[in-house]
Amino acid sequence: LSRFSEEIILWSSWEFKFIELDDSFTTGSSIMPQKKNPDMAELVRGKTGRVYGDLFTMLTVLKGIPLAYNKDMQEDKECIFDSIATVKQCLKVFAPMIETMKVIKENMYSAAQKGFINATDLADYLAKKGLPFRSAYKIVGQIVAHCIDNGLVLETMPLEDYKKYSDLFEEDLFTEISLETCVSKRISAGGTGPESVEKQIAYVEKFI
């Protein structure tokens, strides 16, 4: 929950703007009228310290006792009950916060187009054409440098410019390096492809 909350806080910031939290889970700034503070996410993130505190209390109690039951162990009850109550409180707030959260897809897509995250797929494209990956890696590095110098992204660089670096490039490269293709073909466990994500969701739902 703490790490998830950190993502929410980061993604809801003006610099990212990937999501927008419902007003019922935020508060306004006391001085900046345009600012929405993700209070609930911050509070949930902070509760981790309390639960960790309970954990370390129990570990400290266990540290100095022999391998048998001792009255020291009665200290675990307060820690366990407090941790359970804290997590339940967090979930009670967290679930509706996620359900009412607005996802701004266009901002996510725009961010995904930056940083040349499909450069590896471009190198894989050349490798599939028979070029050693080390050579493909070097060529793609040169292409990325060219794009940076000329304000381009891999998807908008003309095919004739690609061919200056290798004759192996054909029109099909644009399909291979599209963001949709790059995401969808990651189907291994934990991957970003729809098939993989659906399996992960099904696993979590079954676990819960």
pLDDT bin (cut points 50, 70, 90) of residue 33 is low
pLDDT bin (cut points 50, 70, 90) of residue 28 is confident
Whether 151 is covered by a domain: the verdict is: yes
Residue type, 76: D
Is the Cβ–Cβ distance between 93 and 1 less than 8 Å? no
The answer to pTM > 0.85 is no
- The residue whose two tokens read 């995904």 is 112
* Collapsed DSSP state (helix, strand, coil) of residue 39: helix
With the C-alpha atoms ordered 128, 134, 140, 142, is the resulting torsion angle positive or negative?
negative
Q: Which two tokens stand for residue 160?
A: 């004739």
pLDDT digits (tens, 9 = 90+) for 38-56: 999 999 999 999 999 999 9
* CATH for 70: 1.20.200.10
Whether 206 is covered by a domain: the verdict is: no
Whether 22 is covered by a domain: the verdict is: yes
pLDDT digits (tens, 9 = 90+) for 68-118: 888 998 999 999 999 999 999 999 999 999 999 999 999 999 998 888 999
- Reference 8, options 35, 110, 168, 18; nearest CA is 18
Instruction: State which residues form the domain around 130.
Output: 111-177
Average model confidence (pLDDT) across the chain: 92
Identify whether residues 141 and 57 lie together within a single domain: no
